[in-house]
Amino acid sequence: MNAKDEMDAKDDRKIVAFLCNWCSYAGADLAGISRFQYPPNIRVVRVPCSGRVDPLFILIALKNADAVLTSGCHPGDCHYTSGNLVARRKFSLLKSLLDFVGVEPERVQFDWISAAEGNRFAARINTLTDQVSKLGVWDRWGSVVDD
Amino acid sequence: MTDTNTLSKIQEKARRLLEDGKVEVVIGFAAGTVPGKSTPSFISAKEDCESLVWDNGCSLNLAKYVLKEKRKAAIIVKGCDSRSLVNLITENQIKRENLYIIGAACPLSASCAGCQVKVPVIYDELIEDGSEIREVSTIAERRYDDVLEFEKLSAEERKAYVYGEVSKCIRCYACRNVCPACYCKECFAEKSLPQWIGKTTDIGDNLIFHLIRALHVAGRCVDCGSCQRACPMGVNLRLLNHKLLMEVGSLYQFEAGLKEDQILPLNTYQYDDPQPFLAKGGGHE
Amino acid sequence: MIYQIRKDDFLSWLKKQREGKKVLVPTRKEEGYLFLPWVGDELDLREYTNTLKPVKDVFFPQWETLIRYRVEKEKSGEIVEETSRTEPLILFGVRPCDAKSIKLLDNVFDGEKYKDPYYCQRRKNTLIISLGCRELGPTCFCQNIGINPLSSEGSDILLVEFEDRYLAQSGSDTGLEILEQAPFTPAESKEQKIFDELNGNPARLNEAEFRSLALNNMPDFNDSVWEKLYQKCLNCGICTYLCPTCHCFDISEMTLDSEGKRVRSWDSCMYSSFTLHGSGHNPRPTGKERIRQRIMHKFNYFPQNYGVIACVGCGRCVAECPVNFDVREALKLLGVWKDDLQL
Amino acid sequence: MTCSCESGHNHNQVNPYVPYRMKIKDVIIENPEKDLKTFILNFLNPEEEKSFTYIPGQFAEVSVFGVGEAPFGIASSPTEKGVVSFTVKKLGQVTSSLHMLEKGDVIGLRGPLGNSWPIEKLVNKNLVIISGGFAFTTLRSFLYYALDPENRKLFKNITVVYGARNPDQLLYKAELSEWSKRDDLDLKLTIDRGVEGWNGIVGFVPAVTEQVVKEASNTVALVCGPPVMIKFTIPVLKKIGFTPDDIYTSLEMKMKCGIGMCGRCNIGSKFVCKDGPVFSLKELEELPAEY
């Protein structure tokens, strides 16, 4: 891959964001309304709660994306009381397993972003995109359609 | 170690249960046809109890069979089988009262490294052989040497190793099918609507299968090692299980299948649970 | 006619073949022997009884692309047939049981009405040099079902180790052509005699005898014996995937956006999803029906359709089954195993 | 290598896995629930139509690219030139995606596959055609074929008993109403339970068959419907005097390759895809009841 292709590949990097309907998605919405700038690399999947996010979703997303962000309400603020607290345990294990098998920590990230944190959402996506663009090319689990 | 005394006590107990009509079937092991492998046996005639064995070949976790057993059954268990039964009871997959548990200390001569639960934790009758009975409530402090060694490698080396391991996988699902913690009616790996992963042995699909398999049994795995023994391709499955056993131990001070009143760690939460993923993921706070 | 070649000469000959062909040899790995491209100059056949994966893998790989396509809405799209990426291949060290298994698979993939182009092309491109078994492995049972461990059936060339030489017999015209040239030489009458003597311990039971047993003595489809058989089986796919004659497959898609490919991959009659209809109905809902299907397919349906038993006695299913489901024991229970033969 | 179909020869001979590309010409919604649709297809490359010669009763593998393939009985008749059609119930993965497609979309087609209704055996015979629900498809193909002016004289009396849960679930309603006017066809439509506006027969297919079919001599019955309908219709036919040799039915099984290789659709030693899908009752009685 030459330098130009690599640049293009970086611009092309896809980031999937699983955002909970009640907080983080509303936060993203607020970022939009408030006209906070953030890169267009992000593809948002709205989920009812961060507790809905199965680690499988994240691994599957990585078949076709360079990074995945999952974000829900801050602990204590879950619309369903404890969805994000149950999710937190799943995420902890997933994260440590991914680190263990050598996946760069930046590829899979989690956060809690409230409906009021439009600014922080935009900032988060900026940092994330920046981090991801600094990473090497993701092998998509070694799986490519062209074998 | 084949202890003839233990064996005859097991056989006697099985015979008595069948004779008294307490159970219709005894699930145990009989001699296998391959060296070092005893074979699961379903005994319903008391005369057949003599065919039961309790030896080095009894490594399979028999708890798996209780899931599909419709008859009133007795099961002969070692430490890890009994822990799987505890899990299945707490997960409402089986009813304790439908099952007669004959416990005996693990007969494997080369037992699993670090195993501290050789003697069953749950039983109706324990065949005593003088083994030390440990009162175990938590063994979360247990170290997994394979994990610690592996973590000394660089991320690239770790990734290369894991990719190499899963690329051996032929997707026979033996690891899943022997695992007593795997009892979904329809496994995500075989689901068609949606089809999460492909049916080929494409390395990515293999990898996702093994990572999710490990995560699905996290907090429930009793480290019986059946998955690894079953794998015909020698995939180092236990490494992933060990990592998660260690994590569950250190994050939630939990190890599965030790107490009947256990609450499985992924079915619950604490407000002040650690959030290591935030720091590692470059998050705030 | 028997030929011979010194082992050293054979090694050099095989090495030379690498110039135009890919040479696969049993290669020792941590998990067992596998057919892999020969690298290096030596063959490591210590403790080689058979490969972990059957040789079918070479002709009918675990998965492969059938077609590629590109489809966009409102556009015609295109379909590109996968040109089977085969190259001239030499397989060395195939055991006679596995060589026979390929002949069995020819019935399926190279049939009268339909031919599987991917399989057939690889078949045409491959030379099979088998290595007769002087000793049998612990779970081998070829002789009990009428297969000779020194048979050249299914091979182009059969080699049998004898002291510092290989005695060689052709199993095909291509094989014969090779044997008729240097460095192979016709064997003296002494070697002929040795070969015949080695071969004097052929199958303990004739294949036709076993086949008629399996066709005629198999218990009724609804016999209660099937209930006993399946209890310990956990319905994993080891026996089917490691079986040299199991050939069931699935066809599925792998796609990314508008590009995709249709792939086929091994499938197993042990899986409940194998026969599950879209409606939810399943003609083989439990382990009982699935074990029955596997045994009947090998020992009854296949011989009905193709006149030959679809088991070659390699013993992989016996050796690798995690619960020690032993097909020999099953056949005994079903009454289609000759009683005087020991397990 | 480009698809052999572009060079125009019959690629069944070359590579049985390469599908024809078909353009959806029309989609007909068959019932108010919209879970039954008939897809009328054209060959994208009209040249290929020549190599797709079929007989009523055969099936084909229809594929939605990116989703998968599924087998369906061909609902059109070889006498309908230029089109191949299938009636599909929305059930699983492939059928659901098929139902989302529209006119103009391109799908794949492999076939024709399997045997057919035993046309040669039916010549100069009275025919009784019995069907229920959406299993009518290949019998519609046969009927259309048999009613063709060229072919009608080959067969004697044709009686059709076709039933559905309610009038809405009857397929090909316009065609049925045309056929009901013909005097060379005795068409009996029935529904399971009476509803307002239905003046026809009410009753289950086996019972109606018993009332309508009186004669088994020189007659062959073609039966296709849900398993429960077949189960109760066969004793009725036997009672009337049909021998297992004169009763034919078409079976359904999960299939993948359609050419007898992939191993999942067998009943005993027979493959439904290759040896079927049409079997005489006599053949079926010799096979284990595993379907």
Q: In degrees, to the nearest 5, what angle opens at C-alpha A97 toward C-alphas A92 and A98?
A: 100
Complex ipTM value: 0.91
User: Which residues in chain A touch residue C255, judged by CB atoms under 8 angstroms apart?
Assistant: 145
Strand partners, A19: A46, A71
Distance CA C138, CA C115 (A): 37
Against chain C, the chains showing at least 3 CB pairs within 8 Å are A, B, D
Q: Which of C72, C78, C81 is the best mutation test for D, with the most CBs of D within 10 A?
A: C81
- Chain B residues with beta carbon closer than 8 angstroms to that of D92: 192-193
Which residues from D are below 8 Å from C293, CB to CB?
266, 290
Do B263 and B157 lie in one domain? The reply is yes
Report residue D186: phi and psi, to 5°: -100, 100
Query: Nearest-5° angle of CA C304, CA C309, CA C314?
Result: 160
Nearest to C92 by CA among C172, C38, C42: C38
The reply to whether B91 and B181 lie within a common domain is no
pLDDT at D284 over 50: yes
**In total, how many domains does chain B have?**
2
Domains and CATH numbers, chain A: 3-138 (3.40.50)
Q: Which residues of B touch D93 (CB under 8 A)?
A: 192-193, 195
Phi then psi for residue A140, to 5 deg, are: 50, 50
B174 with B243: CB under 8 angstroms?
A: no
Say if residue C155's pLDDT is above 60.
yes
pLDDT at C219: 92
Classify domain D119-250 at the CATH class level.
Answer: alpha beta
Q: State both tokens at D95.
A: 């059928």
Q: Are residues B215 and B272 in the same domain?
A: yes
Do B206 and B109 share a structural domain? no
B193 vs D contacts (CB less than 8 Å): 92-93, 96
Confidence label for C258 from pLDDT (cuts 50, 70 and 90): confident
- Is the model more confident about D136 or about D1? D136
- Are the C-beta atoms of residues D101 and D107 closer than 8 Å to each other? yes
| Minimal-distance CA residue of chain D relative to C249 | D262
Structure-derived torsion over alpha carbons of residues B197, B202, B208, B214, reported in degrees to the nearest 10:
110
Contact A20, A48 (CB under 8 A): yes
Burial (0-12, 13-18, 19+ Cβ within 10 Å), D250: buried
Whether residues B121 and B155 fall in one domain = no
Find the closest chain B residue to A89 by CA distance: B266
Q: Which residues of D touch C81 (CB under 8 A)?
A: 1-4, 15, 17-18
Is C162 strand, coil or helix?
Answer: strand
Phi/psi class of residue C138: alpha, beta or left (left: φ > 0; alpha: ψ in -120 to 50)? Answer: alpha
What does the H/E/C string look like for chain A?
Answer: CCHHHHHHHHHCCCEEEEEECCCHHHHHHHHHHCCCCCCCCEEEEEECCHHHCCHHHHHHHCCCCCEEEEEECCCCCCCCCCHHHHHHHHHHHHHHHHHHCCCCHHHEEEEECCCCCHHHHHHHHHHHHHHHHHCCCCCHHHCCCCC
What residues in A contact C254, CB-CB < 8 Å?
145
In this structure, the strands spanning C165-170 and C157-162 are antiparallel
Strands (E), B160-241: none
Q: Say if the Cβ atoms of B276 and A92 lie within 8 Å.
A: yes
Q: B35 burial class (0-12, 13-18, 19+ CB within 10 angstroms)?
A: exposed
B192 at D interface, C-beta within 8 A:
yes
H-helix or E-strand containing D176?
A: helix D173-180
pLDDT bucket at B114, cuts 50 / 70 / 90? confident
> For the CA atoms of chain B, what is the radius of gyration?
20
CB C140 within 8 A of CB C314: yes
The residue from B127, B162, B197 where one domain ends is B127
Q: Tell me, yes or no, whether chains D and A touch by having 3 or more C-beta pairs under 8 A.
A: no
For residue B61, pLDDT beyond 90: yes
Residue A145 has pLDDT above 70, yes or no: no
CA angle, C152 as apex, C151 and C154 as ends, to 5°?
Answer: 115
pLDDT at position B132: 62
Under DSSP, the state recorded for C218 is P
Question: Which pTM was predicted?
Answer: 0.92
- Closest-CA residue of chain B to C234: B177
Q: Tens of pLDDT along C9-66?
A: 999 999 999 999 999 999 999 999 999 999 988 999 988 999 999 999 999 999 999 9
User: What pLDDT score does A9 carry?
Assistant: 54
> For residue C278, what pLDDT band results from cuts at 50, 70 and 90?
confident
Q: Is the pLDDT of residue C74 over 90?
A: no
pLDDT of residue D5: 36
Per mean pLDDT, which range of A66-70, A133-137, C35-39 is the poorest? A133-137
Average pLDDT of span C188-211: 77
Q: Using CB atoms and an 8 Å cut-off, which of residues 75-94 of chain D contact chain C?
A: 91-94
User: What is the domain partition of chain D in residue ranges?
Assistant: 4-112, 119-250
pLDDT at residue C339 in the model: 64
pLDDT at C200 over 70: no
Q: Give the pLDDT confidence score for residue A72 in this predicted structure.
A: 96
CA distance D225 to D130: 8
- Tell me the nearest-neighbour CA distance from C91 into chain A, angstroms: 24
B33 and B97 inside one domain: yes
End-of-domain residue from the set B67, B97, B127 = B127
What is the DSSP code string of C276-290? Answer: --TTS--SS-SHHHH
Q: Give the percent of chain A with pLDDT over 70.
A: 90
Q: How far apart are CA B125 and CA B74, in angstroms?
A: 11
- Say yes or no: B123 and B40 in one domain: yes
Q: H or E element: which one contains C167?
A: strand C165-170
What is residue A146's predicted lDDT score, i.e. its pLDDT? Answer: 47
CATH superfamily, domain at D4-112: Translation factors (2.40.30.10)
Q: What is the pLDDT of residues D185-242, one digit of tens each?
A: 999 999 999 898 898 899 999 999 999 998 899 999 999 998 889 999 999 999 999 9
CB pairs under 8 A between A and B: 135
Mutate to test the interface with D, among C69, C75, C259, C288 (most CBs of D within 10 A): C69
What is the rounded average pLDDT of the residues B233-246? 96
Mean pLDDT of C159-187: 93
Report the residue of chain D nearest C289, measured CA to CA: D290
Dihedral pair phi/psi, residue A122, rounded to 5°: -60, -40
Q: Is B255 exposed, middle or buried (0-12, 13-18, 19+ CB in 10 A)?
A: buried
- Does residue D62 contact residue D119 with C-beta atoms inside 8 Å? no
Residue type, B128: E
Q: Which chains touch A (3 or more CB pairs under 8 A)?
A: B, C
pLDDT of residue C210: 87
Residue B141 to chain C, least CA–CA distance (Å)? 31
DSSP string, D20-48: EEEEEEEEEE-STTS-EEEEEEEESSGGG
pLDDT of residue B138: 52
Least confident piece of the model among A25-39, C71-85, C203-217, D141-155: C71-85
Q: Number of Cβ pairs closer than 8 Å across B and D? A: 6
In this model, does residue B172 exceed pLDDT 90?
yes
Pair (B189, B251) in one structural domain: yes
Which of C256, C259, C261 is nearest residue A64 as measured by Cβ atoms? C256
For the record, the structure tokens of B224 come out as 């019986």
Q: CB-based contacts of D13: which residues, under 8 Å, 6+ apart?
A: none
For tokens 């190499």, name the residue. Answer: B164
Q: Do B211 and A101 touch (CB under 8 A)?
A: yes
- Provide the Cα torsion D138, D142, D145, D150; round to 10°: 170
Which positions ≥6 away from C24 have C-beta within 8 Å? C35, C36, C37, C38, C58, C89, C90, C91, C92
Mean pLDDT, range D9-15, rounded to an integer = 55
| Structural domain containing residue B16 | 4-127
Q: Provide the pLDDT for residue C147.
A: 87
Mutation to test the B interface, candidates D93, D94, D99, most B Cβ within 10 Å: D93
Does the pLDDT of residue A69 top 80, yes or no?
Answer: yes
A57/chain C closest Cα distance in angstroms: 16
Residue-level pLDDT at D73: 96
Given pLDDT bands bounded at 50, 70 and 90, which one contains residue A127?
A: very high
Contacts of C329 in chain B (CB under 8 A): 33
A70 pLDDT above the threshold of 60: yes
What's the confidence (pLDDT) of residue D7?
A: 35
Tens digit of each residue's pLDDT (9 = 90 or more) over B24-37: 999 999 999 999 89
Structure tokens at D254: 């999960």
Inter-chain CB proximity B178 and C322 less than 8 Å? yes
Q: Do D69 and C111 touch (CB under 8 A)?
A: no
Q: Can the peptide bond before residue C54 be classed as cis, meaning omega within 30 degrees of 0? A: no
The distance of C89 to chain A (nearest Cα, Å) reads: 21
Chain A positions touching B251 (Cβ under 8 A) are: 89, 92-93
Q: Which residue has the tokens 């039971």?
A: C205
Task: Flag whether B176 is in a domain.
Answer: yes
pLDDT of res. C81: 72
For residue B186 the two structure tokens come to 């329809």
Tell me: do B28 and B104 sit in the same domain.
yes
Nearest to B276 among A60, A95, A106 (CB): A95
Cα–Cα dist B70/B67, whole Å: 8
Strand pairing class (D20-29; D106-113): antiparallel
Q: Judge D/C contact: 3 or more CB pairs < 8 A.
A: yes
